[in-house]
Structure 1
Amino acid sequence: MGALAVLRHLWVTRVRGTDRARDVSDAVLTGAAGLVLVAAGLSGLWSGRPDGSGWWHAVPLVLGCLAMLGRRRRPVAALSAGAVLFAADVALGGSIGMLLVLFDLVYSAALHAGPTAVLRLRAASWALVSLSLVLGWTATRDLRVTAFLALQTFVVLTTPLWWGLAVRRERELADLARARADDLRDLADLRAAEARAEERGRMARDLHDAVAGNVSAVALHAEAALARPPVPGAERERAALEAVRASALTSLEEMRAMILLLRADAGPVAAAPRLDRLGALVAGARTAGLTVTLDAGPLPELPAAVEQAAYRVLQEALTNVVKHAPGGRAEVAVGTSGGRLALRVDSADGPGGSGGPDVPGAGLGLLTMRERAESLGGRFAAGWADDARTRWSVAAELPLAVPAGVGA
């Protein structure tokens, strides 16, 4: 039993492991079976008498088995050759072995031929059935013989054809199901990737908007406190503030790296934007559709807290102009006046200007700008610049140096 199992395994995996090997083995087996049937006297099917010595049937049988070798790559040509050999075998009286060859070739043509060839094959099979009716009646004038001949033709041609088409449809349905499963799997992968990207983006926004903002506020307040003149005897407190500021700045840098990892498409996330980026801020507003003019005079060296507050006030003001006066005009002025840093953003051509009190959603940005300015000892004002309420103005003044006692 062990030897038989090994032989069976070798037959299935090695001999019949490829399409070419299966074609060869099927042709050999069909030829061997046909020769056995000829030797058994199963020939002369259409001659009306058994033909036990008709070994001439082996010639079309062997040639038909050779035609079976091309049934997969050239099914129509193989069937055409098999049909000619089958006709020659019928002329010799017919044999079951050649009938098996024809069955296999019709089945293979229905399974492997192109759609157009299959349609022609179906039409040819029905034409041959109809022709057998006509020829049978013309030759015999016997209804029973005619019906029997037509039935034989129908069975010989349409049975393997129907079988091959059924297997073909099952394969096509299996391929469609496999393709649909692949599409569903790809769609699920895309949705999972989108969900992961959305979650990572949400985490990045939370880190940037909430955590980074709070850490930045810690750094600002610490820097504001350090801007005070040193107090004798408070060296330890000042050193602690410096450590707090250094740790906050380091945390901001590390948090920026985390945000960039979470959002591969994120641009640089600056922990403390300065006024040297004012040109890029104005360029972004112009890209958003605003007509912006910038008047920025020379500025002295400013504390980081003042620069960041100034930048954020200008950024929020321009953002409000983009939001509430799209396509409008904005005039940005930055300079020094009376020993203070003066900021001004005037906007027009919009019912709300840069976020007036009559515009839905206005208020939080104004409050944020006011808190930034006043936390450093500055002033902030926003309102209509004319009685016609067509021009909105945002103005802020910040100290050039953080006053003593601010941010302590």
Structure 2
Amino acid sequence: MAALARWWRTSVRGTPRARDVSDAVLTLAVGLALIAVGLVGLWSGPVADDAGRWWAALPLLAICAVMLGKRRRPVLTLAVGVVIVAVDAGLGGSLGTMVALIDLIHATALYAGAAAVRRIESAVAVVAIGTPTVVFVVTGQVQSAVSAALTLVAVLVTPLWWGRSVRQQAELAQLASARAADLERLSALREAEVVHEERTRMARDLHDALAGNLSAIAIHTEAALTAPGAGDGSRDHASTSPERRALEAIRAASVSSLEEMRAMILLLRSGDDEVRSPARLSELDDLVATARAGGLSVQVRLPDVPPLPSAVDQAAYRIVQESLTNASRHARGGDVELVVDVDGAALRLQVTSTGGSGTARRPDPGGTGIGLLTMRERAEALGGTFEAGWVAGADPGSRDHQLWRVRATLPIEETR
């Protein structure tokens, strides 16, 4: 039974067109069954002739064919249906055509324009009130007038009211959906505004507090370095004295921190108003060009990369970006080899770097390790692996020929 119900919902009633066809076929089947048992001659009385009753099948077939267009042309199909019912009434009348007329009225209330529905409501009201009045005036019988009124209410008023009710519920649901969408957009706008204000406040605080202090450090160290008698003794001694080297290191660190702080402030103030597509491996050429402009000698082995899941594509780009950034910082002027390998199951990245003289330099003591942690988190979030560390170079016995290698494996199939 469940399978039959599922077949009915998906196959027979799955689409609007299928529902229209099934309505017409079912109405035709019921109408023919009623004709077969002799339920014809609603207005002229029972038809005794078996052959004569089947004349009622002609208007039934016609009105069922008209039902196929009730969704696209509801007013036209209703007008044609009324004409067919009038012809059927001249033949005696049948229940099948009345059922089809009820369906057409209901469809008109659902799918016709608001102005057309109002005109039809006015026409139905005139017919529903005027016909019983005329019957009473002509026959003088209250029972006949009431019977006519009840019939018209059942055939005309009820389907029209039912269709209007369903239509109003659908319109209310659409309004509620639109209101929910508007509220969601307003919430997103408020959230974006709050984030923008917070970013602006953070940028302002960074500029007013940290940037000012760093500027003061840079200015004072520069003044100390250029002051007369800085670094006691000869010029050569002054340039190599521990105090001067310390001042130079402090100034260099403060200037570098100022540059990074400025970039951070600009980033915070830039906002996210500009819509940008996420970075992908297809943009590696620009990334490599930037690294080469910074003094690195980058060799790239990149095969034709098939379409990748968005998360894998973006994570791979960010890992390569961070690896090249680290190489620019710790191995300026060195050689970097970037290898990308893709098979059906995973994407593999390897970035190997050496120092400017063919050696890899140890990271600066000021490094925080956040970049390595971020790369590891990106890989492991996708179910992949990440490793970074020193490996033996061309001369395994020499510490100066060690290489810094970053390797990441990002699964593809599990991410789709």
- Please state which band the TM-score falls in when normalised by the shorter chain: 0.5 to 0.7
Contact 1:226 1:241 in 2 (8 A): yes
- CA distance in 2 between counterparts of 1:21 and 1:175 reads 24
- CA distance in 1 between counterparts of 2:79 and 2:180 reads 39
Q: Which range moves more in the overlay, 202-211 or 107-116?
A: 202-211
- CA distance in 1 between counterparts of 2:124 and 2:187 reads 47
Q: Which residue of 2 aligns with 1:264?
A: 270
Q: CA deviation at 1:226?
A: 1.1
Percent identity between the two aligned chains: 53
**Structure 1 residues 237, 131: CA separation in 2 closer, same or farther (over 3 Å shift)?**
same
Q: CA deviation at 1:99?
A: 1.1
Larger radius of gyration: 1
Match of 1:241 among 225, 247, 252: 247
Q: Which residue of 2 aligns with 1:255?
A: 261
Q: Which residue of 2 aligns with 1:330?
A: none
SS class of match (2:149): helix
Q: Which residue of 2 aligns with 1:9?
A: 6
- In the TM superposition, 1:223-234 aligns within 5 A as 223-229=222-228, 230=230, 231-232=232-233
- CA distance in 2 between counterparts of 1:114 and 1:33 reads 30
Q: Which residue of 1 aligns with 2:72?
A: 73
Contact 2:38 2:46 in 1 (8 A): no
Amino acid paired to 1:204 = A
- CA distance in 2 between counterparts of 1:73 and 1:32 reads 23
Contact 2:41 2:94 in 1 (8 A): yes
Q: Which residue of 2 aligns with 1:222?
A: 221
Contact 2:222 2:251 in 1 (8 A): yes
Amino acid paired to 2:266 = L
- CA distance in 2 between counterparts of 1:228 and 1:214 reads 21
- CA distance in 2 between counterparts of 1:190 and 1:17 reads 39
- CA distance in 2 between counterparts of 1:73 and 1:51 reads 40
Contact 1:43 1:52 in 2 (8 A): no
Structure 1 position 46 matched with structure 2 position 43: yes
- In the TM superposition, 1:307-326 aligns within 5 A as none
CA offset digits 1:12-44 (Å, max 9, x no partner) = 223322111111111111111111111122222
Q: Which residue of 2 aligns with 1:305?
A: none
**Structure 1 residues 253, 51: CA separation in 2 closer, same or farther (over 3 Å shift)?**
farther
With the length of structure 1 as denominator, give the TM-score of the two structures: 0.62
Q: CA deviation at 1:10?
A: 3.4
Q: Which residue of 1 aligns with 2:354?
A: none
- CA distance in 1 between counterparts of 2:141 and 2:226 reads 122
Contact 1:46 1:94 in 2 (8 A): yes
**Structure 1 residues 241, 128: CA separation in 2 closer, same or farther (over 3 Å shift)?**
same
Structure scoring higher RCO (CA < 8 A, sep ≥ 6) equals 1
Amino acid paired to 2:263 = A
Amino acid paired to 1:237 = E
**Structure 1 residues 178, 134: CA separation in 2 closer, same or farther (over 3 Å shift)?**
same
Contact 1:42 1:52 in 2 (8 A): no
- CA distance in 2 between counterparts of 1:35 and 1:155 reads 22
- CA distance in 1 between counterparts of 2:149 and 2:246 reads 108
- CA distance in 2 between counterparts of 1:10 and 1:264 reads 56
- CA distance in 1 between counterparts of 2:14 and 2:211 reads 64
- CA distance in 1 between counterparts of 2:78 and 2:268 reads 63
Q: Which residue of 1 aligns with 2:161?
A: 162
Q: Which residue of 1 aligns with 2:129?
A: 130
- CA distance in 2 between counterparts of 1:165 and 1:188 reads 34
Q: CA deviation at 1:168?
A: 0.5
Amino acid paired to 2:82 = A
Q: Which residue of 2 aligns with 1:180?
A: 179
Q: CA deviation at 1:265?
A: 6.1
**Structure 1 residues 52, 101: CA separation in 2 closer, same or farther (over 3 Å shift)?**
farther
Q: CA RMSD in A?
A: 1.8
For structure 2, which runs of at least 5 residues remain unmatched after alignment? Answer: 273-416
Q: CA deviation at 1:138?
A: 3.9
- CA distance in 2 between counterparts of 1:103 and 1:84 reads 14
Amino acid paired to 1:15 = V
SS class of match (2:270): coil
**Structure 1 residues 223, 117: CA separation in 2 closer, same or farther (over 3 Å shift)?**
same
Contact 1:107 1:163 in 2 (8 A): yes
Q: CA deviation at 1:7?
A: 4.6
Contact 2:27 2:64 in 1 (8 A): yes
With the length of structure 2 as denominator, give the TM-score of the two structures: 0.60
